Amino acid sequence: MIEIQDIFKTFGDNEVLKGISAKFEAGKNNLIIGGSGSGKTTLLKCIVGLHEPTKGKVIFSGEDFTEMDFEQRVPIRKEIGMLFQNSALFDSMTVEENIMFPLNLFSEMSKSEKLDRANFCLGRVNLKDKNKLYPAELSGGMKKRVGIARAIAMEPKYLFVDEPNSGLDPKTSIVIDELINELTQEYKITTVIVTHDMNSVMGIGDHIIFLHQGKKAWEGTNKDIAHTDNQELNDFVFASKFTQAAREKL
Ligand SMILES: Nc1ncnc2c1ncn2[C@@H]1O[C@H](COP(=O)(O)OP(=O)(O)OP(=O)(O)O)[C@@H](O)[C@H]1O
pTM of the model: 0.93
List residues bridging with 17 in a β-sheet: 9
| Ligand 1 center from residue 97 Cα (angstroms) | 32
pLDDT digits (tens, 9 = 90+) for 162-200: 998 888 888 888 989 999 999 999 999 999 999 988 889
State residue 78's pLDDT score. Answer: 93
pLDDT digits (tens, 9 = 90+) for 90-149: 999 999 999 999 999 989 999 999 999 999 999 989 899 999 999 999 998 999 999 999
| Ligand 1 center from residue 62 Cα (angstroms) | 28
| Ligand 1 center from residue 101 Cα (angstroms) | 29
- The pLDDT of residue 49 is above 90: yes
User: Which of 11, 201, 211, 213 has the most ligand 1 atoms within 8 A of CB, as the residue to mutate?
Assistant: 11
Write out the E strands in the chain: 2-11, 14-24, 28-34, 55-60, 63-64, 80-83, 158-162, 190-194, 207-212, 215-220
Question: CA-CA distance, 35 to 107, in Å (whole number)?
Answer: 39
- The pLDDT of residue 217 is above 70: yes
- For the chain, which domains are there? 2-79+157-248 (3.40.50.300), 86-155 (no CATH)
List residues bridging with 192 in a β-sheet: 30, 160
State residue 247's pLDDT score. Answer: 66
Cβ contact 79:151 at 8 Å: no
Helices 140-152 + 170-186 axis angle, to 10:
10
State residue 246's pLDDT score. Answer: 67
